[in-house]
Structure 1
Amino acid sequence: MTRLFKEFKYRFTYPNVSFIYETVFERADVEYLKDYFNPEDEGFSLRIIKPQKDTLLHDFLRVRLDLDYEYFEDKVGNREIIEEYEKILTTYQVPFPVIKEYDGLDDDDNALEQYEEIESEHINNLKELLKPVFEQIVQESFTILFGDRMFLLKLNEIVASVIVEIKKVDYLDIMSRDGVVKRASYIPEWLKSAIFHRDKGKCQVCGRDLSGLLFLGEEVHYDHVIPLNLSGTNDPTNFQLLCREHNLSKSGTKVMTSERYQTYW
């Protein structure tokens, strides 16, 4: 079981999550978020047809993190970039080389130019060291956002706006008809376990206990939040736990979830 525990830092994760949250809810159209989900991308097709541990949300977080830091590099100088990257590496306890700051004592243009080249090379070295750190920030961000059903609903609505435009004739291997992805042949046990524990073994609409510890005979339904008929996908971010009554009442034509969460006291 220890393999399921990872050491998270969160120092740079919460600002990232906050920005992602704002982007998805308030700037989806301005940021053209639909363009992040390309049906011609093999990875996208694989994720929507069959649950993958590396989800659509993971991919989205990676792209946004890379773009955000590219934007950051365009707006500030080398020294600010170095300070930011060294701060991240320090937080995640990753050793890195250090260069001296330019003291400004030598006004020779060649000396300054040489130092700027040293800075640029140093930044490239730091970026190589940051690759696994950024991947951890992605995983930390996913862990937070996977627990937010309203965020997942909004993200899957954006994905659905892409799916609805896909024609079966162009994607016979993944589409059952125009705008509708084929149903996954099965839900893997790792996903069932993750959804069950995330949703605390309760129907996410009525709160009915489905664990079998308090009541017998309750059926556990792993439900597509956005039904496949409404251009939902088989990505793990589009699943929730429902009781039989509420799952059947959706009839593949309704989007149904809630903002009910268990408090600690």
Structure 2
Amino acid sequence: MEDVEMDGEAWLEHQYLYTYRIADRVQELAENHTAHLGDLESLTADFGIAEFIRPWQPDSALHKFIRYAADDLMESDNTGTVKMPFWDRSRNLRWTVPIELALTSYGLQDDIRFTLANIPQIYETIGNTTYARDAPEVGDACFGHFQSVRLTQPYMDFLRQVSEEVFFVMFTNRGTLQKLHEYLAYYVTENDYAYVLAEHPALAGFYTKSGRLQRRNPPKWARRAVFFRDRGMCTACRRDISGLLDPLGAENYDHIVPLAVGGLNDVTNLQLLCRTCNNKKSDRREAPSKSYRRWY
């Protein structure tokens, strides 16, 4: 695979708007995927794994999961149940839905375009207490607005930006990355080579005859990312290999979920190992190290 020039994308302006809520949702989906198969169905059903097969996509498997989780959260937040206050240009306090504030916060639109100026209320008295709740048409209007926004380029740009921000936070979590790739490995191995060749011939060249993905050496940008994430140290034995070997030599980059059991050629499926630990692990499933070197 031809390497990708990444220097132009070296800096990320991080808003931290939904970062940790989305990260929590991704972790929940990855680590408890058997409990969320229905939620994840649209991501992998009908050979949806095809989106993950091409090797070494800068838009990694984790990016795709993040966008999926972010869209799911936005759908649940924009049904009228969550209302966000803001000051209009006349300094009047008004209310809107979360997606409107998100798009303006990221500079993807100039102003709030949907407001809940007069929220119809339904009052219900139980005993001596009167409760107010929104009329049904409020939720319908909010969700209808979200569905229209969902089809626009600014919303796509919002999901892309959010995926970069959450990736920045989650890329260091090798345990969650392993769980994510174990889930995807099931769909890699679900169909044999004959099925892929017959139904998805454009992808057959990425497979071996055994129905697993071919080994493709990671490109320089992926090796650099993992090398700096793991700080030039073997994640298994903690040996500093930064000055002992070629820091970007492909032989030091181990697939966390091995290709032999359905692992992907994906930057989020890599960890840095010394040659001894890499040879020892071979094609076995092993939990990645939970040890991380302190920043100071």
Fold shared by both chains (TM-score > 0.5): yes
2:254 to 207, 223, 237: 223
| Superimposed CA distance per residue, residues 206-260 of structure 1 (whole angstroms, 9 cap, x where no aligned partner) | 1111111xx4689761111111112111111111110000100122233352011
DSSP 3-state at the match of 1:152 = helix
1:181 to 213, 229, 236: 213
CA RMSD after TM alignment? 3.4
Contact 2:75–2:146, Cα closer than 8 Å, also in 1: no
Which residue of 1 is the match for residue 111 of structure 2? 96
DSSP 3-state at the match of 1:205 = coil
Contact 1:82–1:123, Cα closer than 8 Å, also in 2: no
> C-alpha distance in 1, partners of 2:18/2:229?
23
- Taking a change above 3 Å as real, the CA distance of residues 205 and 78 of structure 1, as seen in their structure-2 partners, is closer
1:159 maps to a residue whose letter is: L
Unaligned runs of 5+ in 2: 1-6, 86-94, 121-134, 198-203
1:8 to 6, 14, 38: 14
2:67 to 62, 66, 74: 62
Contact 2:80–2:142, Cα closer than 8 Å, also in 1: no
**Which shows bigger deviation, 190-199 or 118-127?**
118-127
DSSP 3-state at the match of 1:21 = helix
Q: Report the count of equivalent residues.
A: 252
Which structure 2 residues correspond to residues 139-154 of structure 1 after superposition, within 5 A?
A: 139-154=164-179
DSSP 3-state at the match of 2:78 = helix
DSSP 3-state at the match of 2:165 = helix
Query: How far is the alpha carbon of 1:160 from its aligned partner?
Result: 1.2
- Taking a change above 3 Å as real, the CA distance of residues 99 and 51 of structure 1, as seen in their structure-2 partners, is closer
2:183 to 152, 158, 167: 158
- Taking a change above 3 Å as real, the CA distance of residues 216 and 55 of structure 1, as seen in their structure-2 partners, is closer
Contact 2:60–2:268, Cα closer than 8 Å, also in 1: yes
Which structure 2 residues correspond to residues 111-260 of structure 1 after superposition, within 5 A?
A: 128=152, 129-172=154-197, 173=204, 174-184=206-216, 186-212=217-243, 215=244, 221-260=252-291
1:189 maps to a residue whose letter is: K
Which residue of 2 is the match for residue 40 of structure 1? 47
Query: How far is the alpha carbon of 1:200 from its aligned partner?
Result: 0.4
- Taking a change above 3 Å as real, the CA distance of residues 118 and 176 of structure 1, as seen in their structure-2 partners, is closer
- Taking a change above 3 Å as real, the CA distance of residues 132 and 207 of structure 1, as seen in their structure-2 partners, is same
| Superimposed CA distance per residue, residues 50-88 of structure 1 (whole angstroms, 9 cap, x where no aligned partner) | 111011221122122222222333463888993322332
Contact 1:161–1:231, Cα closer than 8 Å, also in 2: yes
Q: Percent identity?
A: 27
> C-alpha distance in 2, partners of 1:165/1:5?
38
